Structure 1
C-alpha cells in the first residue's frame, strides 16, 4: 500500500471513530451528565491544559523514539478515554477522560504530520494534507451516520463506548501496517545529559519558528485562534438544546444532520481550494475569518431556529478551512529534523489560548447567557483578522 494511502486510511478511520463521539457528546454532557455552561467550558479547559503540559514532552518522544510509536500510544489513550467517559456520566469522570484525551492527542499532534512529511521527503505536502483533510471529512461524515444509528438503536453512552473500543483496535492495526523508513532520530553526544539535550531540542524547534516571519505570524494567530475557539466549541450544543428546547431524541437527529451538512460543505470547499487556489493561503484565511465573525454573531443572537441552523453550518464550515491551510503553511517552512517538536509548540500555543479564553467565555455565559458567551468568542476573532492583514503586507 502506498504511503499516502496508509496515511489517508489511518487518519480517516480515526476521524470516523472520534466523530461517533463528537456527534453526541454535546448532548451527552448537557442531558446525561447535566453540566452547566461553566462546566462545559471547563471540560475543554482541562483538555487544553493537558495538551499544554504534554505537547513538548510527547513531541520529543516522537523525535527520539519514532513517530509510529507516538501515534500508537496516542490513539490507544484516546480510545481508553472514550470508554471511561461513556461508562460514567458525571462531571469528574468526563473531566478525567478529557485529561486523558488531551494527553493522547499530544502523542498524535505533530507526529502524524512529521511522519508523512518524512516518508514523502517533504514533497507534495500541499496535495497530501488537503486530500487528507477531505478523507478525514469523509470518515467524519460516515461517523455521523453510524453515531446516529448507534444512539437510536442503543443509547448515546453506548455509542461513545463502542467508538472507544474501535479506537483501541485501530491503534493496534495502525502500528502493524505503518512503515517508518525515513525517520531521523534526534541524537546527542555522550557528554551531554538527556535533560540538557531535551532543552537543546526545544531551543532548536523555537529557532525554526523565530527565524521565519511567517511562522511568527502563524504562532500569534494560533494563540488568538485558541482564545476564540474554545467557548464556541463547548457552547453551541447548549445553545440549541436550551434556547430552542430540543429533546434528547430530537437532538440526536438534529446534531447528526448539522455535522453531516458541515462536512459535506467542508469537502466541497477544500476540493475547490486544492484545484483552484495555490499559495494565496493568507488571503483565504482573512476572508474565512471575516465571514466567520459575522456568522457566529448572528448564530449567537438569532431567535429563529432556521437562521440559527444556517449560520451555525456556515460558521462550522468556515472554521474547518483553517486547520489544513495553516498546517500546509507551517510544514512548508519547517526542516525535517525536529519537525515534530516545532509542530508540538504550535499545539501548545493553541492550548495556551484555549486555557485562557475558555474560562473567561464560560464565566460570561454562566452569569449572562449562552448567547453572550458565544458572541464573545466571535469578538475574539477580530485580532486574528488584524494579524492576517499584517501577514499579507509582509508577504507582498
Structure 2
C-alpha cells in the first residue's frame, strides 16, 4: 500500500533503511549476548523491512519498462534478474562463510550493513518512479482505502490473478520447508553427520539452478504457447521431485531430483511473474504482487509446522512425500487459471 500510495521509491527506501537498522540490531544483539526475545524483536523488524520490497521492486521495474517503451518481453528481463540474484546468493553465502571463518560471526553482518548503506544512498539519489504517478489531492486514509479496494478488485476478485494466488500457499509453503529441511536430510542420507559441507551444497545447488534457469528461461518460454502450461508442467515435475527425494535412500538420487525440480521451478518463475503482471493494472500492481507474496508466506506459516511435525513423527522422508501431496493441491488452481484464457496467458513468438 505504501508503494501504490506514496510511490515505489519511497517503499524501497523505507525497506532498505529498515533492513539496515535491523541488521545493526542483529550485530548489537550478538555483541551483548542478548536474550531470545531481543533476537525475536530484531527478526520481526527484519521481516518488516522485506515487506517494503515485496511487490514494490517488481512493480517499479515493470512500470519503468513500460514507460521507456521497451519492446522486449518481460520474461527475459526477469530471467536476467534471476541470474544476478542466484549469483549474489551463491557468492554471498560462500563469502559470508569464509569471512566468518577468518574473523568472527559479527563481521559478515557489519559488511551487510555497509552494503545496505551504499544501496540506500544510491537509491536515494538515482531511483525515480518512472511510469507511476500517485494520486494527489486525497488524504492519506482515503488513498490507502482506494488502493485496498482496487487491490481486491484486481486481486482476489480478478479470476486470472485469484487462481494463481490461491495456488501459491501450496507450492511456496512446501518449497520453504523443502529447502530448510534439505540440510539435515542430506546429511542423514550421506551417512556422515559431520560432513558440514553438505549444508553449503544445498544452498549452492539452489543458487546454481537459479542462474542456469535464468539462462535457459527464454528458450524454455519458446516451447509453450501458454504460460499456464509451463506452470502446470513445472509443478508436476516439482511434485515428482519431492516424492522421489522422500522415497529414495540414495544421496545422489536425492541430489539429482533436487536439481531437476529446482530447475523446473526456477525456469517457470519468470513466466508466472509475467502472467501476474499482465492481469494487474499499474495503480494496484505493488499491492497485488505483495498480496501474492502474503499468500505464499501464509502457506509457509501453516505448511512448515505441519511438515515439521510429520518429520518429527515419521522422519524427513515422510515429510517430503507428504509435501509432494500438498503441493499437488495447487494443480487444480492452475487448471482454473488456464481455463480463464487471459490475454496475459498467451505467449507471443
Same fold judged by TM-score > 0.5?
yes
- 2:150 and 2:21 map into 1 onto residues whose CA distance is 34
Partner of 2:3: 62
Partner of 1:77: 18
Deviations 1:281-304 (A, max 9, x none): 100001010011111111123221
Partner of 2:346: none
- 2:19 and 2:94 map into 1 onto residues whose CA distance is 21
Partner of 2:242: 296
Are the counterparts in 2 of residues 85 and 94 from structure 1 also a CA contact under 8 Å? yes
The change in CA–CA distance for 1:379 and 1:78 in structure 2 (over 3 A counts) is farther
**Matched ranges for 1:1-396 at <5 A:** 60-82=1-23, 84-85=25-26, 88=30, 95-121=40-66, 124=70, 127-152=73-98, 154-155=100-101, 157=105, 160-161=108-109, 162-187=111-136, 189=138, 194-210=140-156, 212-244=158-190, 245-247=192-194, 249-251=196-198, 254-255=201-202, 257-274=204-221, 276-277=222-223, 280-395=226-341
Are the counterparts in 1 of residues 5 and 144 from structure 2 also a CA contact under 8 Å? no
- 1:272 and 1:105 map into 2 onto residues whose CA distance is 31
The change in CA–CA distance for 1:334 and 1:266 in structure 2 (over 3 A counts) is same
The change in CA–CA distance for 1:92 and 1:271 in structure 2 (over 3 A counts) is farther
**Cα offset for 1:242?**
4.2
- 1:184 and 1:249 map into 2 onto residues whose CA distance is 50
- 1:135 and 1:291 map into 2 onto residues whose CA distance is 24
- 1:270 and 1:339 map into 2 onto residues whose CA distance is 23
* SS class of match (2:283): coil
Are the counterparts in 1 of residues 83 and 212 from structure 2 also a CA contact under 8 Å? no
- 2:298 and 2:336 map into 1 onto residues whose CA distance is 22
- 1:205 and 1:143 map into 2 onto residues whose CA distance is 31
Are the counterparts in 2 of residues 209 and 215 from structure 1 also a CA contact under 8 Å? yes
The change in CA–CA distance for 1:227 and 1:148 in structure 2 (over 3 A counts) is closer
Deviations 1:297-350 (A, max 9, x none): 111232211111111122222232343222111111111122222222222222
Partner of 2:347: none
Gaps of 5+ in 1: 1-59
TM-score using structure 2 length? 0.82
* SS class of match (1:334): coil
- 2:273 and 2:311 map into 1 onto residues whose CA distance is 31
* SS class of match (2:279): coil
Moved more, 228-237 or 285-294: 228-237
The change in CA–CA distance for 1:92 and 1:360 in structure 2 (over 3 A counts) is farther
Are the counterparts in 2 of residues 223 and 352 from structure 1 also a CA contact under 8 Å? yes
Are the counterparts in 1 of residues 3 and 11 from structure 2 also a CA contact under 8 Å? yes
The change in CA–CA distance for 1:154 and 1:195 in structure 2 (over 3 A counts) is closer
* SS class of match (2:66): coil
Moved more, 208-217 or 373-382: 208-217
The change in CA–CA distance for 1:119 and 1:261 in structure 2 (over 3 A counts) is closer
Deviations 1:58-81 (A, max 9, x none): xx1112221112112213333444
* SS class of match (2:249): coil
